[in-house]
Amino acid sequence: MTRPRKTTESAAQAAAWQELEDVGCIGMGLRQAMRQATQILDAGLKPAGIAITQFAPLAHLYRDGPLGMGELAERIGADPTTLTRVLRPLERRGLLSQEIAAEDRRRRLIRLTSQGRAAFLHALPLWQQAQAEIVARLGSVEAQALRQQLAQASQRLSR
């Protein structure tokens, strides 16, 4: 990543560029690793017609039953607007439905349909295989350490 220095760079700018070249940007590194892992997971889930971004909401709805949009968004670590875009194609395919909550008519519950449950059960072993491929590429010790580091980072960065 070495680049020619501009003569007008301040000492602080030069130090920042040097740090970027020496250790890299954490955000860019996370994005690159996430993109590569997403490609493996999406390829693995392709036979089920589900993307990894859709797998997590299906998994939570399968395990927990109907959830409100806010609850589901919180559980998968997404904002409700993004989640709405993720769920829309699943609803069009008949994998989930939305209904008004009996206890609060302002609240909408998202529920898996029987087709959604079947789609999730079809996707689950495909996800496990893709997950195993990622672990094999990283190494099991490194994969476990990465999981722990990501959990710690998420907790500390959310403060």
- Which is more confident, 81 or 108? 81
Task: From residue 88, give the alpha-carbon distance in Å to each of 94, 120, 135, 142.
Answer: 10, 16, 31, 36
pLDDT greater than 80 at residue 83: yes
pLDDT of residue 101: 73
Dihedral in degrees, nearest 10, Cα atoms 57, 155, 135, 41: 30
The pLDDT, as a whole number, for residue 107 is 79
The answer to whether 116 and 95 have CB atoms below 8 angstroms apart is yes
Instruction: Single out the residue of 155, 120, 107 nearest to residue 50, CA to CA.
Output: 120
Query: What pLDDT is attached to residue 14?
Result: 81
- H or E, element range at 97: strand 96-100
Diameter of the chain measured on Cα atoms: 67
**Averaged pLDDT, 93-104:** 87
Position 3 pLDDT exceeds 90: no
Q: pLDDT-based confidence at 7, cuts 50/70/90?
A: low
Rounded Cα–Cα distance for residues 72 and 54 (Å): 12
- What pLDDT score does 104 carry? 76
CA distance 62 to 125: 15
What is the structure's pLDDT at 108? 83
